[in-house]
Amino acid sequence: MKIRLVVATRQAEADFFSNTATGRSLFFKPSFIDLKLFPNNKKGLPELYNQIIRESENDPATLVFAHDDIHILDFFWCSRLKEGLKNFDVIGLAGNKRRVPNQPSWAFIDNKFTWDNPDNLSGVVGHGHGFPPSNLSIFGTPRQKVLLLDGLLLAAESQTLITNSLFFDERFSFHFYDLDFCRQAEEKNVSCGTWDLALIHESGGSFGSDAWMKSYQKYIEKWKE
């Protein structure tokens, strides 16, 4: 089955392959990768992701939702993701095996951004603006079942999402769409897990910003914790 890679970017389409880490990673894109690119984007990611899920109902594919600032270092990343989806319904690179009330991130346990115990975390992500990474975040052993995943890259079979009516909540334009998605998956008994993929993420997140705080409030109001 084909890989349908979904990427939104503020860059123009002509600049995506030269100005973004994800675009440069796809310079030698294999023919079996169906790139769904949303250039000059100002919409929330959930709206775009849901559009592709619905469009995949009659054209099934392995869906990969990725940010535009990731350096994909693994030549066999498509095979890696396919392997991961034989073990879990939804996979990502980093996550947490548990949830706690009012959790502001998969990695933190309170709004003071206190890291969770390493025993609860899973996954490995490089950070920086090129290879080698300036930092390698080893959160914990990958290939673990988790309840929460980081949204920098999420993958699932389109049929899994459609069969379980699992979509992204469009009230979250960016922040918290990933945590909310994982909680919906948990309610629907759709398994989530981390997988090992050589990747560098340029962004460290914008925890505590005004936009982040507004989304956090929406998240708490929705889930009552």
The domain covering 3-223 belongs, at the CATH homologous superfamily level, to Spore Coat Polysaccharide Biosynthesis Protein SpsA; Chain A (3.90.550.10)
pLDDT in tens, 27-62: 888 888 999 999 999 999 999 999 999 999 999 999
Q: How many percent of the chain have pLDDT more than 70?
A: 100
pLDDT at 97: 98
pLDDT at residue 206 greater than cutoff 80:
no
- The 3 state secondary structure assigned to the chain is CCEEEEEECCCCHHHHHHHCHHHHHCCCCCCCEEEEEECCCCCCHHHHHHHHHHHHHHCCCEEEEECCCEEECCCCHHHHHHHHCCCCCEEECEEECCCCCCCCCCCECCCCCCECCHHHEEEEEEECCCCCCCEEEEEECCCCEECEECCCEEEEEHHHHHHCCCCCCCCCCCCCHHHHHHHHHHHCCCCEEECCCCEEECCCCCCCCHHHHHHHHHHHHHHCC
Domain spans of the chain, in order of start = 3-223
pTM: 0.96
